[in-house]
Structure 1
Amino acid sequence: MKLSVVILNYNVRYFLELCLRSVEQAIKTIEAEIIVVDNNSSDDSCIMVKELFPEVKLIENKENYGFSKGNNIGVAMAKGEYLCILNPDTVVAEDTFSKILNFAELQTNLGIIGCQLIDGRGVFLPESKRHIPTPSVAFQKLIGNSKNYYQNDLTPDQVGKTEILVGAFMIMKRNVYKEVNGFDEDYFMYGEDVDLSYKVLKAGYSNYYYGETSVIHFKGESTLKDKIYAKRFYGAMEVFYQKHFKKNVLVSILVKIILGLASLRSPIKNTQAIKTNKVLVISETTDGKLIHKVKKPIDFTSNIKSIPYQTEIVLDTEFLSYKTIINVLKTYNTSNQNTYRMWVKNSNFMLGSDTSSGRGEIVRF
């Protein structure tokens, strides 16, 4: 088997369904399997997977084991030569896996491959490619200088070596994952992707950023920027520094002070709500349920070439390919002050997110 896609889920049932629908399309020409690990969700995620995706291998944990252990459990069941660690709040294009696997086959000494991640409005997420967050780099970022934190010498559309990749989307050979002992289970949530990327580098492999394919990462579903997030994130980074940069007592004290100050900072606030005047549905048909649910003027069109200003754009996932939807978001992103929702007609819901720091919106019909 070529590829195992491992998706760790926790209480994001509708985002998981959309993710699985996109992954199914992306593995049609690949010998692949999908493994969903559920960390004891209280919603009906597991019921949904069993009913709508019977071919998916579902692991139902009886408690929330966190990101690292949950993914390690999924990888233990995997049979693929390659692994894809994938967040449930993502949408992949139909050719995402095939393009990256073709690239992977041409590399020697391959570590981890990441790709271009965009948020729910098509805005590039700079954490897609990062440098090693040494204590000095972390301190620079803390005071507002991110120059050495993100890898800015690679543009979002380029391909090249990088150091740190994000756990929302990682592809690597299963034997490399096992060689470095996978995700370190000392991390419950946050920091484990930095740790894994760094362990792979230290083992002598090269990590790559592949910007020629894009994946939507709604992000706010898994990384809500609140006080709990700040405490967990900076706590995880302290674990990382203690493991990899513990040189002497003074360095340890300095790191503890830096992370302590960082954790006291106010969490990232959601951006101001975007006000849209009307709704434009890109589909080949009209729909009475949608018209009834939406409280704004609504139009239907099958033309994606002219996107109006300050409009909520509803994208029919049965009419448009996932690659087309991703390209629409990337093309227009914030320039038209639009918001975007993906409409899954068969399941009578649509969802989207207007900010990468807050929860998305789910509308059920």
Structure 2
Amino acid sequence: MQLSVIILNYNVRYFLELCVLSVQSALTNIDSEIIVVDNNSDDDSCEMIKTRFPTIKLIENKENVGFPKGNNIGVDQANGEYICILNPDTVVAEDTFIKVLAFAEKQQNLGIVGCKFIDGSGNFLPECKRGTPTPWVAFTKIMGLHKLFPNSRIFGKYYAQHLSENETGKVDILVGAFMLMKRNLYQELGGFDEDCFMYSDDFDLSYRVLQTARSNYYFPETTIIHYKGESTVKDGAYMKRFQEAMQFFYKKHFKVYPLFTLFMKTGSYFFSFSKRVQGQSIIKKNPKSYLLYSLDEELVKKLTVILQKKVSFHNLKTEKMVISSPYRSAKEVEIILDNEFISFKEYIAILESSENKGLTFKILPKNANFLIGSNNSNERGEIIKME
């Protein structure tokens, strides 16, 4: 078997369904398996997997064991030569794994491969490629120096700004939402460090790969959506765990002094607090109307009743290629894309082409009874049930 995709889930049932649909489409021509590990969700995630995806291997943990242990449990059951650690709040294109595997096969001393991330509105997420967060690099991040000097090699290391978002190359750190690597390397390293509950586990694993003289790669020739806000609620528990995670990483890999420890604790607090404030300060858009791209005209009537707003129909046969161009300034209009007639690759491309245009999107997953999407990466997404 060539590839095992490990998806660790905790209470994101609808995003998980969308994710698995996209992964299945992407694995059609690959000898592969999908393993969903559930960390004791109290929604109906497990029942959904059993009903809609009965052939998928489902592991039901009896407690929330955290990100590292949950993924380690999944990899223990994997059979693929390669594994891909994948967040449930992601959407991959139909050719994502084909492209990434082809790239991986060409590399010598391969470590981890990551890809390009965008959020639910098509905006690039810079954390998909990062440098080692040494004390200096962490300082530049916390003080915002990477923003003040975006082209500086000295101040731009946190987000590996030596590479543009569309440039393939070596990086130190990749994000745990998408990590593809050889299974035997993962096992050689002992997987994610289970002493860290979450947040710095991907830093740690990426850094340990580098210590084996292997190379990690950022590969932007395929783009995935990472809704991001779904994985973490930015509350007090988030701030506490974020601080603990950073302290864990520094104590494990760097010699630090009490003054620096105090600085990092304070900096981590303000960094995580700012993330929470960003999420709270965002005013949610309330669309005045919707644009449905589909071939099913009857769907307009149903959506009009459910949404209680005007829904315009656009026939994909004639208007598919101009989805974003006529409505670039229509910030109170939301676009609905019907996955029955629009592929995941097309969906991702549409969002990517709409970066910074103020557009918002929902997707109607194939054979599903809900709309789903997220307007930015600092808040939870929205699910609209169509029952």
Could you say which TM-score interval applies, normalised by the shorter chain?
Answer: over 0.9
- SS state at 2:145 partner: coil
1:271-290 → structure 2 map (5 Å cutoff): 271-286=282-297, 287=299, 288-290=301-303
Tell me the distance in 2 between the aligned counterparts of 1:182 and 1:354.
33
SS for the counterpart of 2:321 is: coil
Structure 1 residues 1-365: aligned runs within 5 Å: 1-146=1-146, 147-246=156-255, 251-264=257-270, 266-268=273-275, 269-270=278-279, 271-286=282-297, 287=299, 288-301=301-314, 302=316, 303-306=319-322, 307=324, 308=327, 309-310=330-331, 311-335=333-357, 337-344=358-365, 346-365=367-386
- Partner-residue secondary structure (3-state), 2:218: strand
- The C-alpha deviation readout for 1:159-189, integer Å capped at 9, x for no partner, is 1111100000000000110111110001111
Aligned-residue RMSD, C-alpha: 1.3
- Say whether the 8 Å CA contact 1:230–1:267 is kept in structure 2: no
Could you report, residue by residue, the CA deviation over 1:19-49 in whole angstroms, capped at 9, with x for unpaired residues? 0000000000100000000000000000000
Residues 224 and 357, structure 1, Cα contact 8 Å, conserved in 2: no
Deviations 1:237-269 (A, max 9, x none): 10000000025xxx2441343223431453321
- Cα distance in 2 for residues equivalent to 1:264 and 1:161: 30
Task: Please identify runs of 4+ aligned residues in structure 1 that moved more than 3 A.
Answer: 274-277
Q: Post-superposition shift, 1:105?
A: 0.6
Preserved contact between residue 166 and residue 220 of structure 2 (Cα < 8 Å): yes
Task: Write out per-residue CA displacement over residues 93-144 of structure 1, whole angstroms, 9 at most, x where no aligned residue.
Answer: 0000000000011001000000001100010100010000001111121111
Superposed CA offset, 1:333-361 (max 9, x none): 221x2110011252210110011011000
Could you tell me how far 1:275 is from its partner in structure 2? 4.7
Q: Which residue identity lines up with residue 44 of structure 2 in the other structure?
A: D
Rounded to whole Å, the distance in 2 between the matches of 1:277 and 1:359 is: 21
Distance across 1 between alignment mates of 2:81 and 2:120 = 31
Instruction: Give the Cα separation in 2 of the matches to 1:118 and 1:264.
Output: 25
CA shift for structure 1 position 154: 1.2
Which range is displaced more, 260-269 or 322-331? Answer: 260-269
Distance apart, 1:230 and its partner CA: 2.0
TM-score, length basis structure 1: 0.96
Distance in 2 (CA, whole Å) between partners of 1:62 and 1:356 is: 30
Give the Cα separation in 1 of the matches to 2:15 and 2:7. 12
Structure 1 residues not aligned, in runs of 5+: none
Moved more, 99-108 or 218-227: 218-227
| Aligned residues of 2:303 and 2:311 also touching (Cα < 8 A) | no
Which stretch of the first structure deviates more once superposed, 147-156 or 69-78? 147-156
Moved more, 321-330 or 230-239: 230-239
Identity across the alignment (%): 53
8 Å Cα contact 1:242/1:252 also seen in 2: no
Distance 2:16 2:225 in 1: 13
Answer whether contact 2:242 2:268 (CA < 8 A) is retained: no
For the residues of structure 2 that align with 1:262 and 1:18, how far apart are their CA atoms? 33
Q: How many matched pairs?
A: 361
> For 2:362, what is the secondary structure of its paired residue?
strand
Question: In structure 1, what is the Cα distance between the partners aligned to 2:366 and 2:86?
Answer: 24
Counterpart contact for 1:225–1:267, Cα < 8 Å = no
Task: For residue 130 of structure 1, give the secondary structure of its aligned residue in structure 2.
Answer: coil
- What 5-or-longer segments of structure 2 have no aligned partner? 147-155
Q: In structure 1, what is the Cα distance between the partners aligned to 2:378 and 2:236?
A: 12
Find the aligned partners of 2:288 and 2:167 in 1 and give their Cα distance: 36
Q: Rate the CA distance shift 1:289–1:136 in 2: closer, same or farther, 3 A.
A: same
Q: Secondary structure at the match of 2:225?
A: strand
Amino acid at match of 2:161: N
Q: Tell me how far 1:156 sits from its aligned partner.
A: 1.4
Do 2:8 and 2:38's aligned partners in 1 also have CA atoms closer than 8 Å?
Answer: yes
Kindly state the Cα deviation for residue 273 of structure 1 after the two structures are TM-superposed. Answer: 2.7
- In 2, distance between residues paired with 1:276 and 1:145? 36
1:222 partner letter: S
